[in-house]
Structure 1
Amino acid sequence: MRAHFYTIQSGFLLAAYLLLSMLPLSAWAQLEQTTRIEIPTHDLTNEQFDMFSLGDRGALMVIRRSEYLGNRNEKWIFTKYDTELKVVWTEEYSMDFRYIPVMSYQNANYAYWLFAEPDTDHFLFLQLDLEQGHIDTHRGTLLANVNVNQFKVIGSKALVAGYYRSRPVVIVHSFFDHTTRVLPGLFERNMEINNVDVNEVDGLINVITYAVKKRECVFAIKTYNYEGKLLKTTTLKDPDNSLISGQIVPLNPEDSYLIGNYSVGCTPFSQGLYVTHIEDNVPEEPNFIEFSELQNFFNFMKPKRRQRVLDRIGKRKSMGKENKFRYRLLVHNLIQMEDEIVLVAEVYYPNYKTNSPAMFNGLSRQYMRSMDGFRYTHAIVCGFDRDGNFLWDNCITIKDLTSFELQEMVQLTPIDDYFLLAYPQDGNIHTEVIRREKVVVENEKYEIEAKSESEKVMYNENATLTAWYDKYFLAYGIQRVSTSKNAPVGAPQREVFYVNKFTYNTEDIGKPKPQASTRKASGSKR
């Protein structure tokens, strides 16, 4: 009888093992908060904080401080940290109060900020050497009241793109001789600048435009040399689809791929993705990939709703009908790896709230709708090979996340043979690990901790998350922290700007996962 009991038990364990081996891989791979720094905030100053990833060379912190009384100039404090978040150097600059910051840009060696003096044509460019911390400034005269939406630098020239009197314009300012010119062929009605792409290797400037001409949507790439001369215009049109956005993957000066999203009709609503090969200024016919053709696009839906959508797609296909979808996409910069090109895009929609003022004449109520930020539903990840062929797709669900500014929330970090997807929300970090089209670690949630176990985080502003290098990324923001874990309401608190370094360990992928779905990041150095 005893032997029989062990046989049953062994058989049960074997069956359980076989069952687990057939399930998708799960893991308890821990998110580790390995290092944290804090900068106390000041009550009598207006302060803004920001962080910039420098990859495996460290990170750059930028603090802007202006006093409510006294000196009207704004102090800019630049601090470079190494990968252990230890200070490498600090530089300060007093910015003339007449200038306001417009936009920043960063390349491998420098960080740049564009400043404008309102209601004038005066601009200032601040250049920061990321290696040594040296600061140079360049003043220029551009165009007054330009609505700037892109700013980039190639060599010693700044590119300022935007709209002047409702028409698109790209202004080129030389830091070397302080000359300014406008790129030709852009100042047209009903044209929009989609992207300004700089090719530092070949010294080329590509301005990607979108225009509606005679009820036809025209997507074009205007290529300029370093001197600003128009070299060629590549026009992309399709009788059925309209290209919305595009990013260039250069192979050589005459050969490249264009990857982006498209719509049906001249609308901002995406129908899917596309990739096209451009050689000798001649684009091949684009390969259009509908959202309905993606394997995991609808995984953000609840299972029953997802199945209904898939059944409807299958039914329409069997009847020879097209499946049309209307999604707004925020497409990130392409991630170019050795063998793959990875596209990340968040699906969002504008969030409106209804305001109801008091009774009007005691008879009727007036209702008004106002913009209340953007709500994100999910993010898609797609892989292409170096020949532009679509390989795989996946997605991460984003629950109840809103932002007043339309900005990239989901960060992707390649780790070994996996991709870590992460986004911040309410003082927590949500993560998911995928291996191409497979989800190997489902959604996990981790708290952003205080510096000491004896402290308690009382208040969080929404954290910002940025992929750093290798398996590391940074979370930063404002927190109010109590000095005691059991502090009552009203107890003394300190407000800090924090920067947390996180590590995601993948060694335990495939091992059973603990039951807790929300926990603190482990392995914090106290």
Structure 2
Amino acid sequence: MKYLRVLSPLIAFLGCGLPVSAQLEKAAHIEFAVSSSLDENFEVFPLGQQGALVLTRSGMYQGHGEEWRFVKLSEDLKPVWNNSFRLNFRFIPVMAYQNHTHAYWVFAEPDTDRFQFLQVNLETGFQDVHEGKLLSNIDLQQFMVMESKAILAGYHRGRPVVMVHSFFDKTTRVLPDLYEKNSELNGIDLNEKDGLINVMTYSFRKRQCLFEIKTYNYEGRHMKTTTLTDQDYSIISGQIIPLNESDSYLIGNYSIGCTPFSQGLYISQIRDTEPENLEYIEFSELRNFFNYMSPKRKARMIERIGRRKSLGKENRFRYRLLLHNLIETEDEILLVAEVYYPNYRNYNPPSTGINSFYRGSSFRAQDGFRYTHAIVCGFDKNGRYKWDNSFAIKNLVSQDLQEMVQLSRFGEYWVLAYPEEGNIHTEVIKKEKVVVESTKHELQPRARSLFFNESAILAAWYDKYFLAFGRQKPENASPNSQKEVYYLTKLTYQVDPVTGIPLSDTAANSKTSLQKRSTDSTAN
């Protein structure tokens, strides 16, 4: 099952034993008892200032499907409502989606064209189930909902396909002009204000790479196609910031030739179907891109770049980028991306006999993804590049390619955070300035034994708050206890709102009374 896009798995830092100097305070806490007899899986969906939704899935038994139990929590982690749903045993969950008012799940019956949709009202908990028929044996990659229609994208027999399914009349429409060879889905952008569906594709035609945006109206009619092609550059990906019904900005990364390796970033204004003012920004032109390197290595790199420029040579770099969703503030557009590369390890298979063919042989296999650094770039509302910053990521390997760096906003400041072997590394920036250098927050032994869990998750929640959740022993349990609870903890990173600098120990200590007044709730 693919989860809501707001989730970003991280190893959690939390607990009563957290050092004051870390400036990470516990504001609220709740625990759910974990059954010792049932196979239970917990999922948490942060909803910003609306709170959080907790889903508990109990395994199938006696011919019945999974039982799903929902609990809606307030921003103070107080229960608001609860509800349950029994999944038909013939169906399996595939994907989920959440907007401001509802959460949705799509279920498929294997080897058939039958699908189900569960719609949950986030304010009241009211449920509605919709059924329909889609293409059978489709490999779903993306699921979204706009008003009363579900948009589902994936691949059918190796070709991209996007369907629009109406909850009202149960009709399904396959969007035209997409089912092509040598074409890949790059993403789907919904313009709910104007009722438009933008499907971005990446294709190879006549020895040329094309990046296209095909725009459809709410009824699924093809309105226009915008093609971005360049003799020297290839657009890899793009995200849309709409200005009005016909104009928008497109921001993403590009490469030299048809490769997945990025050469830099680009931004373009699109008027109707014509891209204008296409601006390419090489990585070497970003002022802080190489800050993740040691000072000596960075100095050598800058010297090399300058030397090549003086000789009239181009500086070409090849990086893999994982782009986050664009962040739009009152006066800026922020692009956040993590630089990564596949991590490989050498394996020596065990001998299976005296004459084993594999004796003494070894092979390299991919073992997750290694991250080097994250970049943050700011553009003004006129589409002009203004500033950039970077955040070094050390010794971080993830088995799945996923967003690891979290961003929380504090006025004009941003706190960046990522996990590493039970610690959390943070950095505070104000545009191109680093206000607080990278800081590692460690756990005390007592907190580690009671609260630390390798599978815990941390998510940037809203304003200055983070939400940490996962399995642990109860807070007052003995060291030998086998009991478990599923917890959610609301955390805040204390920063001076004027300077962006973490509060001093004295200032933090003056706020401990607030921490003591936060009462823990327990839900069974």
Secondary structure in 2 aligned to 1:305? Answer: helix
| 2:39 paired residue among 24, 36, 46 | 46
The residue that corresponds to 1:376 in the other structure is: 371
The residue that corresponds to 2:216 in the other structure is: 224
Quote how far apart the aligned CAs of 1:523 are.
4.5
Seen in structure 2, the aligned counterparts of structure 1 residues 503 and 449 have a Cα distance that, compared at 3 Å, is farther
The residue that corresponds to 1:413 in the other structure is: 408
Preserved CA contact (<8 Å) 2:97 2:143: yes
Preserved CA contact (<8 Å) 1:375 1:403: yes
Structure with more contact order per residue of length (Cα contacts < 8 Å, sep ≥ 6): 2
Quote how far apart the aligned CAs of 1:456 are.
3.4
TM-score, with normalisation over the residues of structure 1?
0.87
Matched, 1:144 2:139: no
1:267-278 equivalences under 5 Å are 267-278=259-270
Distance 2:211 2:346 in 1: 37
Deviations 1:349-388 (A, max 9, x none): 1222222123583685232333322121211111111011
Distance 1:496 1:395 in 2: 37
Preserved CA contact (<8 Å) 2:495 2:501: no
The residue that corresponds to 2:450 in the other structure is: 457
The residue that corresponds to 2:487 in the other structure is: 498
Deviations 1:73-106 (A, max 9, x none): 1111111111111011111101112211111111
Preserved CA contact (<8 Å) 1:427 1:463: no
1:4-23 equivalences under 5 Å are none
1:109-120 equivalences under 5 Å are 109-120=101-112
Distance 1:348 1:469 in 2: 27
1:326-405 equivalences under 5 Å are 326-359=318-351, 361=355, 365-405=360-400
Deviations 1:155-202 (A, max 9, x none): 111111000000000011100100011000000000111011111110
Deviations 1:109-146 (A, max 9, x none): 11111111112111111111111111111111111111
Quote how far apart the aligned CAs of 1:410 are.
1.0
Seen in structure 2, the aligned counterparts of structure 1 residues 339 and 193 have a Cα distance that, compared at 3 Å, is same
Secondary structure in 2 aligned to 1:284? Answer: strand
- Unaligned 5+ segments in structure 2 are 1-19, 506-511, 520-524
The residue that corresponds to 2:433 in the other structure is: 438
Quote how far apart the aligned CAs of 1:446 are.
3.0
The residue that corresponds to 2:10 in the other structure is: none
Preserved CA contact (<8 Å) 1:74 1:94: yes
Quote how far apart the aligned CAs of 1:331 are.
0.5
Secondary structure in 2 aligned to 1:153? Answer: strand
Secondary structure in 2 aligned to 1:457? Answer: helix
1:53-72 equivalences under 5 Å are 53-66=46-59, 69-70=61-62, 72=64
Distance 2:156 2:356 in 1: 46
Secondary structure in 1 aligned to 2:160? Answer: strand
Quote how far apart the aligned CAs of 1:454 are.
8.6
Distance 2:227 2:500 in 1: 47
Seen in structure 2, the aligned counterparts of structure 1 residues 458 and 244 have a Cα distance that, compared at 3 Å, is same
Amino acid at match of 2:382: D
Preserved CA contact (<8 Å) 1:117 1:123: yes
Distance 1:444 1:71 in 2: 52
Matched, 1:289 2:278: no
Preserved CA contact (<8 Å) 1:351 1:374: yes
Question: Which region of structure 1 is more displaced relative to structure 2, 200-209 or 71-80?
Answer: 71-80
Seen in structure 2, the aligned counterparts of structure 1 residues 447 and 212 have a Cα distance that, compared at 3 Å, is same
Seen in structure 2, the aligned counterparts of structure 1 residues 34 and 427 have a Cα distance that, compared at 3 Å, is farther
Preserved CA contact (<8 Å) 1:353 1:372: yes
Quote how far apart the aligned CAs of 1:448 are.
6.7
Quote how far apart the aligned CAs of 1:440 are.
0.7
Amino acid at match of 2:262: S
The residue that corresponds to 1:479 in the other structure is: 472
Preserved CA contact (<8 Å) 1:482 1:494: no
Of all paired residues, the percent bearing the same amino acid is 56
Distance 1:455 1:463 in 2: 12
Distance 1:307 1:361 in 2: 55
TM-score, with normalisation over the residues of structure 2?
0.88
Amino acid at match of 1:345: A
Preserved CA contact (<8 Å) 1:271 1:324: yes
Seen in structure 2, the aligned counterparts of structure 1 residues 496 and 299 have a Cα distance that, compared at 3 Å, is farther
Quote how far apart the aligned CAs of 1:459 are.
5.0
Secondary structure in 1 aligned to 2:484? Answer: strand
The residue that corresponds to 2:15 in the other structure is: none
Quote how far apart the aligned CAs of 1:512 are.
8.8
| 1:423 paired residue among 406, 418, 424 | 418
Amino acid at match of 1:314: G
Secondary structure in 1 aligned to 2:39? Answer: strand
Quote how far apart the aligned CAs of 1:32 are.
1.4
Distance 1:335 1:479 in 2: 33
1:306-325 equivalences under 5 Å are 306-325=298-317
Amino acid at match of 1:468: W
Secondary structure in 2 aligned to 1:152? Answer: strand
Quote how far apart the aligned CAs of 1:510 are.
4.9
The residue that corresponds to 1:32 in the other structure is: 25
Seen in structure 2, the aligned counterparts of structure 1 residues 413 and 152 have a Cα distance that, compared at 3 Å, is same
Distance 1:347 1:135 in 2: 41
Secondary structure in 1 aligned to 2:243? Answer: strand
Matched, 1:196 2:175: no
Question: Which region of structure 1 is more displaced relative to structure 2, 354-363 or 414-423?
Answer: 354-363
The residue that corresponds to 1:160 in the other structure is: 152
Distance 1:325 1:454 in 2: 43
| 2:89 paired residue among 87, 97, 104 | 97
Seen in structure 2, the aligned counterparts of structure 1 residues 326 and 478 have a Cα distance that, compared at 3 Å, is farther
Seen in structure 2, the aligned counterparts of structure 1 residues 121 and 366 have a Cα distance that, compared at 3 Å, is farther
Distance 2:210 2:196 in 1: 22
Preserved CA contact (<8 Å) 2:249 2:268: yes
Deviations 1:205-250 (A, max 9, x none): 0001110111101001000001100010011111111111100000
Matched, 1:235 2:224: no
